[in-house]
Chain A
Amino acid sequence: MPREVAIIGVGYSGFRALTPEVSYKELMYEAAVKAYEDAGVDPRRDIESFVTVAEDFTEGTSIFDEYVPDQLGAVLKPVHTISGEGLHGFIAAYLQILTGAMDIVAVEAHSKASNILTPDEIMAFAMDPVYNRPLQVNPHFIAGLEMNRYLCETGTTREQCALVVAKNKHNALYNPLAAYGANIAIEDVLQSEIVSYPLSRLDMSPRADGAIVMVLAARERAEELSDIPIWIRGVGWCNDSFSLENRDWMNAIYAAKAGETAYRMAGIRTPWQELDFAEIDDTFSYKELQHMEALRLCRPGEAGMLTEDGATEIGGDFPVNPSGGSLGMGHLLDASGLARLLEVVLQLRGEAGQHQLPDVEAGLAFAWRGLPTTSGAAVILCN
Chain B
Amino acid sequence: MGLRKVAVVGAGMTKFVRRAQETGRELAYEAAKMALDSCELTLDDVDAVALGTAPDAFDAVHMKGEYLSDGAGAWRKPFMRSYVGGGTGVFAPIQGWYHVASGLFDVCLVVCEEKMSSCQPHPQGAFLTIFDHTTERPLGPNLLWIFALEMNRYMQTYGLQKKDIALVSVKNKRNAADHPCALLGDPNITVEDVLNSEVLAWPVQRLDVSPVTDGAVAVVLAAENVAKRITDKPVWIKGVGWSLDTAYWTNRDLYYPKYVEYAARMAYEMAGIREPRKEIHVVEPYDPFDYKELHHLEGLLLADKGEAPRLTAEGVTARTGNMPVCPSGGLLGVGNPIAAAGLMKVAEIFWQLRGEAGKRQVPGKPITGLAQAWGDLMQVGTVIILGIGG
Which residues of chain A have a CB within 8 Å of any CB of chain B? 2, 54-58, 60-63, 65-70, 74-84, 88, 91-92, 94-96, 98-101, 122-123, 125-126, 128-130, 236-243, 246, 253-254, 257, 261, 265, 369, 372-373, 375
**Please, which residues of chain B bring their CB within 8 A of the CB of A2?**
102-104
B98 contacts the other chain (Cβ, under 8 Å)?
yes
Task: Tell me the complex Cα distance, A154–B102, Å.
Answer: 39
B43 contacts the other chain (Cβ, under 8 Å)?
no
Is the CB–CB distance between A77 and B243 below 8 Å?
yes
**Please, which residues of chain A bring their CB within 8 A of the CB of B129?**
56, 60-62
Residue among B1, B127, B266 making CB contact with A62, cutoff 8 Å: B127
Closest to A98 in B: B102
**Please, which residues of chain B bring their CB within 8 A of the CB of A265?**
104
Is the CB–CB distance between A125 and B81 below 8 Å?
no
Task: Tell me the complex Cα distance, A79–B80, Å.
Answer: 16
Q: How far is the CB of B143 from chain A (nearest CB, A)?
A: 11
Residue among B76, B242, B375 making CB contact with A253, cutoff 8 Å: B76
Task: Tell me the complex Cα distance, A56–B54, Å.
Answer: 10
Residue among A57, A66, A100, A128 making CB contact with B247, cutoff 8 Å: A66
From 48 to 103 in chain B, residues with beta carbon under 8 angstroms from any chain A beta carbon are 54-57, 59-67, 69-70, 74-85, 91, 95, 97-99, 101-103
Residue among B2, B59, B76, B379 making CB contact with A239, cutoff 8 Å: B76
Is the CB–CB distance between B57 and A62 below 8 Å?
yes
B221 contacts the other chain (Cβ, under 8 Å)?
no
Closest to A57 in B: B62
Is the CB–CB distance between A95 and B102 below 8 Å?
yes
Is the CB–CB distance between B80 and A237 below 8 Å?
yes
Is the CB–CB distance between B270 and A373 below 8 Å?
no
Looking at A57, A63, A83, A92, the one whose CB has the most chain B CB atoms below 10 A away is A63
Residue among B59, B98, B130, B259 making CB contact with A96, cutoff 8 Å: B98
Q: How far is the CB of A137 from chain B (nearest CB, A)?
A: 15
Is the CB–CB distance between A99 and B130 below 8 Å?
no
Is the CB–CB distance between A66 and B130 below 8 Å?
yes
Residue among A75, A92, A254 making CB contact with B98, cutoff 8 Å: A92
Task: Tell me the complex Cα distance, A91–B80, Å.
Answer: 10
B220 contacts the other chain (Cβ, under 8 Å)?
no
B4 contacts the other chain (Cβ, under 8 Å)?
yes
**Please, which residues of chain A bring their CB within 8 A of the CB of B67?**
126, 128-129, 242
Looking at B61, B62, B103, B258, the one whose CB has the most chain A CB atoms below 10 A away is B62
Q: A77-B243, A101-B101, A129-B61 are in contact. Are A375 and B376 (CB under 8 A)?
A: no
Is the CB–CB distance between A239 and B75 below 8 Å?
yes
Is the CB–CB distance between A76 and B61 below 8 Å?
no
Is the CB–CB distance between B66 and A369 below 8 Å?
yes
Is the CB–CB distance between B98 and A83 below 8 Å?
no
Is the CB–CB distance between A69 and B246 below 8 Å?
yes
Residue among B61, B244, B266 making CB contact with A75, cutoff 8 Å: B244
Task: Tell me the complex Cα distance, A78–B259, Å.
Answer: 9
Looking at A61, A66, A129, the one whose CB has the most chain B CB atoms below 10 A away is A66
User: What would be 8 A-B contacts, judged by CB atoms less than 8 Å apart?
Assistant: A63-B83, A63-B376, A77-B244, A83-B65, A95-B104, A241-B75, A369-B66, A372-B66
Residue among B62, B74, B262 making CB contact with A126, cutoff 8 Å: B62
From 296 to 338 in chain B, residues with beta carbon under 8 angstroms from any chain A beta carbon are none
From 121 to 171 in chain B, residues with beta carbon under 8 angstroms from any chain A beta carbon are 126-127, 129-130, 132-133
**Please, which residues of chain A bring their CB within 8 A of the CB of B259?**
76
4 additional A-B pairs beyond A66-B376, A74-B244, A129-B59, beta carbons within 8 Å, are A2-B102, A61-B132, A75-B246, A375-B69
Is the CB–CB distance between A56 and B246 below 8 Å?
no
Q: How far is the CB of A370 from chain B (nearest CB, A)?
A: 9
Closest to A85 in B: B80
**Please, which residues of chain B bring their CB within 8 A of the CB of A98?**
98, 101-104
Task: Tell me the complex Cα distance, A234–B118, Å.
Answer: 41
Closest to B99 in A: A95
Is the CB–CB distance between A81 and B84 below 8 Å?
yes
Q: How far is the CB of A318 from chain B (nearest CB, A)?
A: 27
Task: Tell me the complex Cα distance, A369–B62, Å.
Answer: 12
**Please, which residues of chain B bring their CB within 8 A of the CB of A65?**
83-85, 244, 376, 380
Task: Tell me the complex Cα distance, A209–B288, Å.
Answer: 37
Q: A99-B4, A99-B101, A373-B66 are in contact. Are A78 and B266 (CB under 8 A)?
A: yes
Q: How far is the CB of B177 from chain A (nearest CB, A)?
A: 32
Is the CB–CB distance between A56 and B266 below 8 Å?
no
Task: Tell me the complex Cα distance, A372–B63, Å.
Answer: 9
Is the CB–CB distance between A129 and B81 below 8 Å?
no
Is the CB–CB distance between A238 and B79 below 8 Å?
yes
From 172 to 209 in chain B, residues with beta carbon under 8 angstroms from any chain A beta carbon are none
Task: Tell me the complex Cα distance, A373–B61, Å.
Answer: 13
**Please, which residues of chain A bring their CB within 8 A of the CB of B247?**
66-70
Closest to A94 in B: B102
Residue among A122, A254, A375 making CB contact with B62, cutoff 8 Å: A122
